[in-house]
């Protein structure tokens, strides 16, 4: 590889360091940034949290998708992480985009993407947004109830509609079926209403819940979708497209999910039936692509009171306070049921990024110390890790890092207590194919 490192938003720095693994590229970007901060004299905020994003990882995920789900065209769910360079790469790779609001639609149209590559996949939409998308020719949208059909008939009768059906999402991290999705016994009425209103229903969509763990949820949802395709014929609709939603994880479960989904598609929507298949993956594309580095802004030493009574020599434990927490980029702990794993990036002068392993750092070594990790706000729930062990005595100014921080993190950060919700992203790109598409030579 040539190593290309974007510094901050639009700048990029071109390192020619010969062959490097993706991990080495990420490590080098982290090191470059933290070693250039003078903790004694820096300006307020210079030691702020920052991300390193490997766009090569997004590219690899796309290739993995094409290999495993060749019939399914991905429409990336922008809400998951609307990072401009990620969107630019996906646009070059030819994906579509699933948008939930006017701002997301504007961001995608602003990149010059054709409106036919957007689906407004929010079954309960804002009136003024529906009027707006009608002027921008964004036709594809979802619905799951009769009131929404009335809205669309009034505001955008030419829209191309996907009937979103309910799924069994009981095995998913984030469940949606309490809020969205038409039960199967209501779909006939909805199709009849759409027909009466003269609307253009073109397909069926579903979402098995974000972070799905049961591949059979896809099997059942595809079978239900087939039922709706057949019923739609009775109302004069010749549906053209099935949208299998999101829910795919980036870990090894993806191949198994894909296998089950493919066999469901082959059974209920075989290639010769001519139905287009699309999906709305979010976390699958970005979760592993982003690493975050956070600075230790304060430390509290916790002495064990029993030790002073017994006179035993017991190591203290520590509470460390970072400059990011659950109101910031660790919002994924609250909203996305995640458990980010803290690792030591820099302790004193020692740079400790682990280039080899994706798993936890060896914590149980002799003499390791117990830490709890907290966020910077004045709220007690701002708590990242209850208990972890490091083989180092960490102090103010040292750095921790967390991997797999790309999905549902920065997009749901707040400015609570006056902390920033917009942190720098340093881009690296560990795939030559992606560098070519992005014009990084």
Residues contributing to the site for ligand PLP (CB under 6 A): 77, 79-80, 98, 121, 207, 210-211, 245-248, 280-284
The least distance separating ligand PLP from the CB of residue 283, rounded to whole angstroms, comes to 4
**Exposed/middle/buried for residue 433 (C-beta within 10 Å: 0-12, 13-18, 19+):** middle
**Exposed/middle/buried for residue 227 (C-beta within 10 Å: 0-12, 13-18, 19+):** middle
The residue (of 77 and 194) whose beta carbon lies closer to ligand PLP is 77
Find out whether 72 and 260 touch, Cβ atoms under 8 Å. Answer: no
Instruction: Compute the distance between CA of residue 353 and CA of residue 206 in angstroms, rounded to an integer.
Output: 41
The residue (of 56 and 246) whose beta carbon lies closer to ligand PLP is 246
The residue (of 190 and 345) whose beta carbon lies closer to ligand PLP is 190
The least distance separating ligand PLP from the CB of residue 95, rounded to whole angstroms, comes to 13
Find out whether 408 and 331 touch, Cβ atoms under 8 Å. Answer: yes
Instruction: Compute the distance between CA of residue 178 and CA of residue 29 in angstroms, rounded to an integer.
Output: 43
List all residues 6 or more positions away from 17 whose beta carbon is below 8 Å from its beta carbon: 3, 28
Instruction: Compute the distance between CA of residue 144 and CA of residue 178 in angstroms, rounded to an integer.
Output: 12
Backbone angles phi, psi at 11, to 5 degrees: -80, 150
List all residues 6 or more positions away from 134 whose beta carbon is below 8 Å from its beta carbon: 155, 156, 158, 159
The least distance separating ligand PLP from the CB of residue 123, rounded to whole angstroms, comes to 8
The least distance separating ligand PLP from the CB of residue 124, rounded to whole angstroms, comes to 11
The residue (of 246 and 376) whose beta carbon lies closer to ligand PLP is 246
Catalytic residue among 174, 249, 273, 378: 378
Half-sphere exposure of 166 (CA within 13 A, CB side): 13
Displacement of CA 88 from its chain's centroid (Å): 16
Element (H, E) at 58: helix 55-68
The least distance separating ligand PLP from the CB of residue 90, rounded to whole angstroms, comes to 13
- Asked if 378 is an active-site residue, the reply is yes
The residue (of 62 and 207) whose beta carbon lies closer to ligand PLP is 207
Q: Which of 329, 338, 279 is nearest to 77 (CA)?
A: 279
The residue (of 26 and 77) whose beta carbon lies closer to ligand PLP is 77
Element (H, E) at 218: helix 216-234
The least distance separating ligand PLP from the CB of residue 247, rounded to whole angstroms, comes to 5
The residue (of 24 and 61) whose beta carbon lies closer to ligand PLP is 61
The least distance separating ligand PLP from the CB of residue 211, rounded to whole angstroms, comes to 6
Find out whether 211 and 176 touch, Cβ atoms under 8 Å. Answer: no
Find out whether 393 and 350 touch, Cβ atoms under 8 Å. Answer: no
Q: Which of 43, 41, 30 is nearest to 346 (CA)?
A: 30
Q: What is 102-154 written as a DSSP string?
A: HHHHHHHHTTT--GGGEEE--SS--HHHHHHHHHHT--EEEE-SHHHHHHHHH
The residue (of 176 and 353) whose beta carbon lies closer to ligand PLP is 176
The least distance separating ligand PLP from the CB of residue 352, rounded to whole angstroms, comes to 31
The least distance separating ligand PLP from the CB of residue 37, rounded to whole angstroms, comes to 33
Instruction: Compute the distance between CA of residue 46 and CA of residue 34 in angstroms, rounded to an integer.
Output: 10
Position of minimal CB gap to ligand PLP: 246
Find out whether 409 and 292 touch, Cβ atoms under 8 Å. Answer: yes
Beta strands in 229-289 (DSSP E): 241-243, 276-279
The residue (of 280 and 382) whose beta carbon lies closer to ligand PLP is 280
Q: Which residues are catalytic?
A: 378
């Amino acid at each position: 590889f040539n190593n290309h490192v974007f510094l901050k938003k639009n700048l990029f720095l071109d390192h020619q360091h010969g062959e490097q693994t993706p991990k080495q590229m990420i490590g080098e970007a982290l090191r470059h940034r933290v070693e250039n901060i003078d903790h004694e004299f820096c300006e307020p905020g210079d030691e702020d949290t920052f991300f390193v994003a490997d766009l090569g990882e997004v590219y690899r995920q796309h290739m993995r998708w094409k290999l495993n789900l060749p019939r399914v065209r991905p429409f990336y769910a922008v809400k998951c992480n609307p990072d401009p360079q990620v969107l630019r790469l996906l646009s070059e790779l030819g994906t579509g985009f699933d948008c939930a609001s006017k701002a997301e639609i504007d961001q995608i149209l602003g990149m010059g993407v054709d409106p036919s590559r957007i689906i407004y996949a929010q079954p309960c939409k804002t009136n003024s947004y529906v009027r707006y998308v009608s002027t921008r020719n964004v036709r594809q949208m979802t619905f799951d109830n009769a009131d929404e059909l009335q809205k669309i008939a009034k505001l955008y009768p030419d829209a191309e509609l996907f009937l979103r059906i309910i799924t069994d999402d009981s095995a998913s991290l984030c469940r949606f079926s309490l809020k969205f999705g038409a039960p199967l016994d209501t779909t006939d009425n909805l199709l009849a209403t759409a027909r009466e209103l003269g609307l253009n229903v073109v397909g069926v969509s579903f979402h098995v819940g974000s972070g799905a763990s049961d591949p059979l949820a896809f099997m059942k949802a595809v079978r239900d979708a087939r039922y709706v395709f057949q019923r739609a014929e009775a109302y004069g609709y010749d549906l053209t497209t099935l949208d299998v939603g999101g829910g795919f994880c980036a870990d090894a479960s993806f191949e198994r999910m894909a296998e089950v989904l493919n066999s469901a598609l082959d059974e209920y929507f075989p290639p010769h039936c001519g139905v287009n298949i699309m999906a709305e993956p979010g976390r699958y594309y970005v979760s592993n692509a982003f690493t975050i580095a956070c600075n230790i802004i304060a430390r509290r030493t916790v002495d064990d009171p029993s030790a002073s009574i017994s006179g035993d020599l017991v190591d203290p434990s520590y509470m460390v306070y970072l400059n990011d927490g659950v109101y910031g980029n660790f919002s994924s702990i609250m909203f996305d049921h995640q458990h980010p794993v803290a690792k030591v990036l820099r302790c004193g002068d020692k740079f400790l990024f682990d280039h080899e392993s994706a798993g936890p750092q060896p914590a149980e070594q002799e003499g390791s110390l117990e830490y709890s990790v907290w966020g910077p706000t004045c709220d007690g729930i701002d708590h990242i890790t209850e208990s972890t062990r490091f083989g180092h005595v960490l102090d103010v100014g040292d750095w921790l890092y967390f991997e797999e921080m790309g999905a549902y993190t920065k997009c749901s950060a707040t400015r609570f207590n006056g902390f920033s919700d917009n942190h720098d992203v340093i881009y690296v790109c560990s795939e030559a194919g992606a560098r070519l598409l992005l014009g990084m030579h």
